Structure 1
Amino acid sequence: TSDAVTLTVSVKRKPELTSSPQGAALMGNPVTLYCKLEQSAGWKFYWSKHTQNPENETNTATHSYTISAVKPSDGGQYWCRAGRGNPVYYTHYSDALWVNITGVSSIVSLIIIPNRTQHFSGHSLSLICKDQRNSTTWRVMQYSHDRSVSDCPSDRGSVTSSTCNISSLSTAHTGVYWCQSKSGGSSKPVNITVHDGDVILDSPVHSVTEGDSLTLRCLLNKTPSNLIAYFYKDGSLFQNQTTGQITIHAISKSDEGLYYCEYPERRESPQSWVSVRGEKSMS
């Protein structure tokens, strides 16, 4: 008879990412992210922003990561994962956590044309600071994947203090954009994703008011579609439609989450966060 062999099967773990405070963070205040993992001894923790890119991860020896004074550029999607051993064994990435920054100026807003969060590589984009006082003292700022803050990379000759025009987008334009004044005032930040694939999700740039309707469209680059589009929320199938779009009537807080779509023959779009704010106050 042969010797008995013990086979151990381990399930790849997936941490839970949370934040303190939860929900919106006030500009200038600290925010701490927590990467929760059972039996966390011996692990290092890795933090990603905007995309799950190992090359741009920040690592910590503990399961927490603190931003001491949040800025508009700190808003956006975050993920975490843990690793240990040599060679390093990594857990799955956590689900995405969205950090919203508040306490920004209400007199200025950033207008995006076309008005959506996702855009095809090679297409054009305009970003405009709209000030209720018709002031032109605002500049469009960008926080990019290389963790640098700079003026929006506008085409030469088409930049003003409050407008940024990009005639041919690339994935390097993916990032957080906002309006900023010399005095330090800021608009609410906007996340822009540039995708070099065939499919993007047309979703709103700004929060949707509770009770309003929301239409999401699954867009194909160059080729018109009569295919079935599949829409997902938080990783689960939400709806499928031959029209390539879905409408959520009387949206509520429970509809808030990460959405993406796919045409099975053409792959899937990136994910975008749909934010829902409270009902409009009666006047």
Structure 2
Amino acid sequence: MLLVSHFSILDIPQAVLRVSPQRWLTEGDAVTLICEVNGSSIGWTFSWYTVTVSDNRYYHLLPDRSKGTGGNYTVSSAALKHTGVYVCRAEKGKPTIYTWYSNTQLVRVTGFSPPVSLIISPSRAQHFTSVSLSVRCEDQNNSDRWTVRRYTDSWRLLEGCSSVWGSQTGSTCTINSTSISDTGVYWCQSESGETSQSVNITVHSDVILESPVHPVTEGDTLTLRCLYKNTSPLILTADFYKNGSLIQNQTTEMIISNVSNSHEGFYYCKHPERGESPKSWISVRGVSNESCLSHSESQISLLHTLSSVLAVCPYLLATVILIFKCCRMRGKTSDRLLISNIHSEGE
């Protein structure tokens, strides 16, 4: 007898994946992947996967703690190797009901002192479509052991620089003709898992905001411009916004001197006829520990010098007084001898 199932494709539940507390990690941080079905994990058994495009198998089951109840996958101490794109899937019952694969979540882990820098040319966070874009990995040894990797908003996959979207020469990846699908997160990575800090790149067709690629250091000057494709001049007057609020209107550039943490936020520009640019997050970092240490060491050195001088001063003062007294005594003795000689000659 043929059994007909009334379970349609529309009835397949959807798994939802989220990351806590954040997706951008430093080595040693803790991170938890949380998988839920209809807002709950009760009664479901979960599987965890990484997603790549290196071969035809896009989903790779995690070998450790790959299944379990509770819907949580926790890494207590993140390492460089944990950088990747993750998805989850759930199942329950007999016969088994499977969910769809969940949404993807990118988890990025960097070291305390990244050994390599990511250089973007042109040096800005937003770029026009149909232009050339260069992404270069640069370390102190000028080595070629780095590969540019990215996670794009369109494909939601972790990709290395390849002929599909770019061409790698040494440690430089070149996109000959950018498209909106190139929008995403870019970084450098070695075979051993070392990584650079990540950079958000946005590609847009008409209006873009010229903003810095990397975080701005406290105390520096931040300059923002609104750029328009296929116009002359390239920079025109526009309104500038932060977190949705107008902060400066009808100007060719916005300059913020002495940047502080209060200036962090999402910025964009808007032209009344040509439209508005995408939003870019401007991040502000404090003065490096090395600079603070150097400044502290200079102050300590100065204090040591002053202390030494002050410690020696009493002895110097006493020496000067003794020399002065000796000179006066010698002067008086000489005067007495001179007077004595005069009296002797007079007699």
TM-score (norm 1): 0.65
Sort the Cα spacing of 1:200 and 1:73 in 2 relative to 1 into closer, same or farther, 3 A.
Answer: farther
Per-residue CA deviation, residues 200-257 of structure 1 (Å, 9 max, x unaligned), is 00111111100000101111111135753111111111112432x1111000000011
In the TM superposition, residue 156 of structure 1 has moved relative to its aligned partner by: 9.1
CA distance in 1, matches of 2:199, 2:84: 9
Distance 1:150 1:263, change over 3 A: same
The residue aligned with 1:218 is 226
Matched, 1:177 2:186: yes
The answer to whether the aligner puts 1:107 opposite 2:106 as a matched pair is: no
Which one has a larger percent helix, Structure 1 or Structure 2? 2
Letter in 2 for 1:221: K
Q: Provide, for residues 84-136 of structure 1, a one-character-per-residue CA deviation record: whole Å limited to 9, x for no partner.
A: xxxxxxxxxxxxxxx98542652201100000111111111000000112211
Verify: 1:242 aligned to 2:259, yes or no. Answer: no
Inter-partner Cα distance in structure 2 for 1:234 and 1:199: 18
Q: Structure 2 matches for 1:1-283, cutoff 5 A?
A: 21=21, 25-27=25-27, 29-31=29-31, 102-103=110-111, 105-145=113-153, 146-153=155-162, 158-196=167-205, 198-224=206-232, 228-243=237-252, 245-280=253-288, 281-282=291-292, 283=294
Deviations 1:115-161 (A, max 9, x none): 01111111110000001122110011111222211112458995224
Aligned residues: 214
Q: Distance in 2 between matches of 1:65 and 1:255?
A: 36
The residue identity in structure 1 corresponding to 2:238 is A
235 and 205 in structure 1: CA distance in 2 versus 1, 3 angstrom threshold: same
Cα separation, 1, equivalents of 2:23 and 2:165: 39
Structure 1 residue ranges, 4+ long, deviating more than 6 angstroms after superposition = 64-67
CA deviation after TM superposition for structure 1 residue 24, in Å: 6.0
Write the letter of the residue equivalent to 1:103.
Answer: G
Structure with the largest fraction of strand: 1
Please name the residue that 2:63 is paired with: none
Distance 1:31 1:195, change over 3 A: farther
After superposition, give the CA deviation of every residue in 1:25-74 in whole Å (9 maximum; x if it has no partner): 3247444699xxxxxxx979xxxxxxxxxxxxxxxxxxx99885695567
Aligned to 1:37: none
Structure 1 SS opposite 2:151: strand
CA distance in structure 1 between the partners assigned to 2:73 and 2:283 by the alignment: 23
Which residue of structure 2 lines up, in the alignment, with residue 47 of structure 1? none
User: 2: CA distance between counterparts of 1:157 and 1:267?
Assistant: 29
175-184 vs 104-113, greater mean Cα deviation = 104-113
| 2:341 aligned residue | none
1:87 matched residue in structure 2: none
In structure 2, how many angstroms separate the alpha carbons of the residues matched to 1:247 and 1:123?
27
Q: 1:102 to 1:235 in 2, by over 3 A?
A: farther
Q: Which amino acid aligns with 2:242?
A: K
1:79 maps to: none
Change (3 A) 1:154 1:116: farther
How far does the alpha carbon of each residue in 1:237-278 deviate from its partner, in whole angstroms, 9 at most, with x for none? 1112432x1111000000011111111111100011111000
Higher RCO (CA < 8 A, seq sep 6+): 1
Q: Which moved more, 1:233-242 or 1:19-28?
A: 19-28
- Contact kept in structure 2, 1:171 and 1:194, CA below 8 Å: yes
Name structure 2 gaps, 5 residues minimum: 1-18, 41-70, 86-106, 295-347
CA separation of 1:267 and 1:224: change in aligned 2, threshold 3 A: same
Q: TM-score, length-normalised on structure 2?
A: 0.54
Read off the aligned partner of 1:25 and give its amino acid letter. Answer: L
Identity %: 55
Whole-angstrom CA distance in 1 between matches of 2:166 and 2:241: 41
Cα distance, 1:167 vs. partner? Answer: 1.3
SS of 2:181 mapped into structure 1: helix
**Alignment partners' CA distance in 1, 2:21 and 2:216:** 22
